[in-house]
Chain A
């Protein structure tokens, strides 16, 4: 899902999502088999506004159209973008 125009780790190592840009999903967590680490995600802490050169870390929603492959079918979706560095 990383649409960075010139580089994507997916090009070299087909291991899946870079994890900084993910589809907005309404799917709830599953009862079994859910990766243990995902249960440690929490709501983002508020980010102090610092003027023009702000945001050490931010989470923003981007209603940008994209698509993903689901069982060989391409479906439309939107993405949420975040900068978590």
Chain B
């Protein structure tokens, strides 16, 4: 067994985390899980600060973990702490914030490898920041307009095929219904004064042949999967037509690979899940990079060793 221990900050049945944990296990590395939803019901912790920083241990149903033994952290959408139902709302909020900033501060102080550090993740969720970083790193980025000016939006739509995308708020719940905002083609005549209400993101509608989801790590590992659909809806937004999709591992153009690594360095990320639209001339158009997006289903569909790449990155083994 290796001396290394990776703290798995993830929900117990999270698909991506299970894959990574299994890959670590195959390498003889301990993956020590801390499902934050188990605190404080099934977990406790005690930490002390000394010259070298924080020390102490967390005890869960699986056993104890000393901070000093942690060599890396895999951060994958950990879930909210679970407090007794008997707490009042102010009590629950107090307990949540104290636990969050307590654990958060201790974990983020550890001098270890992260995939990815929570602070960097927070920044990297901002799509306009993603787009600007992508442009600086040499990606082809579709023409885009972020505006609350209807005239600008109409002019943009008239200049060519345009789509609307939510910058962040993709989920709408109202009237007791839940809806999603997919990538939506926009006609100039459909744009009205309601655009003034807030910022809206418009983008050129890339006439793509297929999509690519590419997983790159800070250790310069990289796997790309081409996503094909035989329907118009699936080509426009693959999330809208999963039952039509087919998957195939694909090679990555060298300039795209360089840009991906530059992007991760620029934003300090240990992992990036990039989405591209690929056109007939072979151009890979940057759409977005989800710092914590899903990839497990692609490994399942194609056998691409994505979890192995992440495990190697957590161990400090570069490609």
Binding site for A on B (CB under 8 A): 9, 15, 18-19, 36, 75, 77-81, 85, 89, 92-93, 96, 99-100, 103-104, 107-108, 118-119, 121-123, 125-126, 164, 166, 168-182, 184, 191-192, 194-195, 197-198, 200, 239-243, 273, 290, 292-294, 296-297, 299-301
Contacts and interface: CB of A to CB of B under 8 A. Distances in A.
Contacts of A18: 125, 168-169
Contacts of A29: 174-175
B292 to A, nearest CB: 7
26 contacts: A4-B79, A5-B81, A5-B96, A6-B75, A7-B119, A12-B122, A12-B123, A18-B125, A19-B168, A19-B169, A22-B173, A25-B173, A29-B174, A29-B175, A36-B195, A37-B166, A38-B172, A38-B181, A41-B179, A41-B181, A45-B239, A50-B301, A53-B297, A56-B239, A64-B80, A74-B89
Q: 7 smallest A-B Cβ distances: which pairs?
A: A19-B169, A41-B179, A85-B293, A7-B118, A36-B194, A53-B15, A41-B172
Contacts of A43: 177, 179-180
Interface in A34-85: 34-48, 50-57, 59, 61, 64-65, 67, 74, 76, 80, 82-85
Contacts of B240: 45
A37 B164 contact: yes
B102 to A, nearest CB: 10
Contact of B239 (A6, A11, A57, A80): A57
B297 A85 contact: no
A63 B169 CA distance: 20
Contacts, number: 177
Q: Which of B104, B273, B292, B294 has the most CB of A within 10 A?
A: B294
B7 to A, nearest CB: 12
A3 B92 CA distance: 12
Contacts of B99: 5
B89 A51 contact: no
Given A6-B107, A20-B170, A47-B242, A26 B176 contact: yes
Contacts of B195: 36
A6 B194 contact: no
A79 B17 CA distance: 24
A61 B85 CA distance: 19
Contacts of B182: 40, 42
Given A8-B122, A45-B240, A67-B89, A35 B198 contact: yes
Contacts of B123: 12
Given A3-B96, A51-B300, A53-B18, A84 B197 contact: no
Given A5-B81, A7-B121, A40-B184, A50 B297 contact: yes
A10 B145 CA distance: 24
A67 B97 CA distance: 14
Contact of A56 (B19, B85, B297): B297
Contact of A27 (B122, B175, B191, B198): B175
A57 B299 CA distance: 15
Contacts of A22: 169, 171-173
Nearest to A42: B179
A45 to B, nearest CB: 5
